[in-house]
Amino acid sequence: MSANSPAPLPLIVRSEAGTLHIVAEAAPVKAPAAAPKADDPGAEFFRRQRDEARQQREVARQQRDEVRKQRDELKSRIEMLESQLASAARGESVKAPPPRDIGELDVFALEADRAARLPDIRSKQARGLPLAIREAELLGERLIPPMRRAARPRQTPGPDIAFLTVANAKFLPGLEGLILSLLRVYPDLTSPIHICHDGTLNSFVQTRLRSFYANLIFLEPNMDWFEQVPAMSDNHKRIGKLGYMNMEGLALTGFKRVILLDSDILILDDLSELWDGDDYNICYDCGDREYVARSAFTGDWVFNSGVISIPGDRTGPQAYAEFRDAVLAHASAEVCPAIDRFSDQKIWNIYLRDKPKRYLPLNYNCNVKYLAKFLNGQPDGISVIHFAGPKPWNSRLYVAADHLQPSASKALQFPKPWVDAYRDMMFHTRVESYRDHAKAHRRAVPVRLDSTVEGRRTCVMIGNGPSMAQTDLTLVEGLEKFAFNWFVLHEGFDVVRPDHLVLGSHMLFGGWSTTEPCFPAGYLDKLRAHKHRPALWTSFYFREYLESINLHQEFEINYGLFEKPFKRFIDRVGRFNADIDTFLDDGRTGVISLAIPAAVKLGFERILLVGCDSNYNQAGTTSKYFYDMSQHTSAETREDSLTSTWTEEGRGQFVYKLVTEELTARGIEFIDCTVGGALQTVPKGKLQDYSTT
């Protein structure tokens, strides 16, 4: 090629995953020679050459347009990713982008497109080139699974129907959604639900789940035998022994049916067809594609292992051993492309290949990708939605930070059905549970019935700011006092004798949505070392933990409904909710988030602040608290977040303004008596003006 020759043009095609692959190079377009005369025998050749050049130019134009489109899409995705990373850095929830493939099924159009691709696929096969899984599927048998277009009457399963699922701490929201959705469809359920786990569903989690439904049976199977599966196999590395624990359903005996349900499933309607008949009841595997393929190894249509109904006479030691042998024999072996990419699903397809089975309509295991791509996202008549693939709860709204999963999946994501259902079920469940507990146990009157100044019931909020060193707390000796978090370090704790100790910081227990709540090192020892026993207030989320350590037998404990995913930042919603019988919002300080709603409920007509310095940005500020920071063993709010929140024009000042307005509207005085405090949006006062001594 000469130096002046045009560069070759890459032929670029879009793969099924949406990426670009260079598959060939077009021949360089040469400048045409001088046109021959009309009667020249080379005229026809010249015309063909000209047409080919035009065609190549058109191909080049299409490629250029495609590259520009890809570039714009990539730019858009990068901008979205940058926005999500910025949100994550601020501790905000990261929402998945809306799926671009919401649509309805059109088999004619899909098959027409595939028919156009078949010659190339056959040519590729004839040349001995490897075929992609979907290419191979197009050359084999395919089936459009049926869907029932009518609902069955609901028939509640009895105690002779057992359910079994598998989960770990990272799947806890999914497990909660499964249980609550099953109870929503069958409020009078009595069936046992067996939950296999790897030890991460600890006593705190189990007690919390049993508050939803008592008949839960937690199993931690011995899967040591699984170590015989080669560690280098994809199944072993990707999913491990947890992925095969649903085989424990084969060990359950004495039931009419054992129904296996993945913990990333939502139940929307009746399941009674699952316990009909005498065969294994299974469901076709389809989702991103509208058809189901046939496995060359089993000879059957591939079914999904997320929903399997096992006849009771097909369980027992022999069945369990047979399945275990199938895992050892086939988990790491290549048997068939249609099932090799799966873990337990591969083994279940092999295990049931020679057993009587009945395929149920798609209603009983509808992949969320199928719902989005082919049903317009409308679950009409669907009994089960299966959220295979990226999990809709993979957000700090629903799981602790250490349980977030990195997600580089290109699979379609449609979290809305799960998010909407989960939030609605959890909202009502938590409110009902909280109100029942509060009615029976929450304090209804102040500790000091004579805590009045000038005829108005008055309380004081004692913060932990450095100004406490200049605050004379003897002035409020006769007033009801609320202290906070690390006030246990105050050397005069037993002299001040706070009536309430508000543990409003989630960091005091390990963070939001933690599955392993625990006080920081030394905290309980310091609390218990004091002779004085204040009434405690904290988030209802931590009730099971506090009761597990029997703290409720040592202290009066009261709760507020302050927890994710329902807490909101007050500065964002623009109102302060002072009603402690509802979900509370986040005031960026426990004084506002929990203590003031408690004080309002107890009937106080005047609320004083001391030690609420809010001066993290003032010149000369050397400490955040009255105590030595080395004694502060719980995590803290990030420094940059703290300082930006409490600037003169920051969110913290705005929140206090909203609180002042709400309390004033309720006829409650709100006065800041902090020595040298930086709050600008709360009326100022002097503590001695409200002294009872």
- Domains of the chain, earliest start first: 9-68 (no CATH), 138-144+159-427 (3.90.550.10), 442-690 (3.90.1480)
pLDDT for res 240: 83
Looking only at the bridges linking them, the beta strands covering 557-560 and 193-196 are unpaired
Looking only at the bridges linking them, the beta strands covering 280-284 and 303-311 are antiparallel
CA 286 to chain centre: 24
Q: Which amino acid is at 369?
A: K
Take residue 126 and report the two structure tokens written for it: 């004839």
pTM of the predicted model, to two decimals?
0.84
pLDDT for res 84: 56
Residues in the chain: 693
d(CA 548, CA 517): 11
Contact predicate 463/505, CB 8 Å: no
Number of Cβ atoms within 10 Å of the Cβ of 78:
10
Q: Which amino acid is at 136?
A: A
Take residue 474 and report the two structure tokens written for it: 């003897």
Contact predicate 668/461, CB 8 Å: no
Number of Cβ atoms within 10 Å of the Cβ of 35:
12
Q: Which amino acid is at 93?
A: S
pLDDT, block means (10 residues), the chain with 693 residues:
37 32 34 48 67 65 62 59 55 50 89 93 92 91 94 95 97 98 98 97 97 98 90 66 95 98 98 97 95 96 98 98 95 91 94 97 97 95 95 93 78 88 98 98 96 96 94 94 96 96 94 95 96 98 97 98 96 97 96 98 98 75 80 78 81 96 98 94 95 82
Contact predicate 677/463, CB 8 Å: no
pLDDT for res 36: 47
d(CA 307, CA 260): 6
203-210 helix and 172-185 helix, angle to the nearest 10 degrees: 20
pLDDT for res 631: 85
Number of Cβ atoms within 10 Å of the Cβ of 395:
21
Take residue 342 and report the two structure tokens written for it: 């799966």
Looking only at the bridges linking them, the beta strands covering 265-267 and 452-453 are unpaired
Looking only at the bridges linking them, the beta strands covering 292-293 and 142-143 are antiparallel
d(CA 496, CA 485): 15
Number of Cβ atoms within 10 Å of the Cβ of 592:
24
Contact predicate 678/618, CB 8 Å: yes
pLDDT for res 25: 34
Work out the burial of residue 461: count CB atoms within 10 Å of its CB; fewer than 13 is exposed, 13-18 middle, 19 or more buried.
Answer: buried
Work out the burial of residue 413: count CB atoms within 10 Å of its CB; fewer than 13 is exposed, 13-18 middle, 19 or more buried.
Answer: buried
Q: State the SS3 of 142-205.
A: EECCCCCCCCCCCCCCCCCEEEEEECCHHHHHHHHHHHHHHHHHCCCCCCCEEEECCCCCCHHH
d(CA 631, CA 322): 58
d(CA 364, CA 367): 10
Is omega for the bond preceding 415 within 30 degrees of 0, making it cis?
no
Q: Which amino acid is at 23?
A: V
**Dihedral sign, Cα of residue 32, residue 33, residue 35, residue 37:** negative
Residues β-bridged to residue 24: 11
Which value, in Å, is the radius of gyration of the alpha carbons in the chain? Answer: 33
Contact predicate 263/171, CB 8 Å: yes
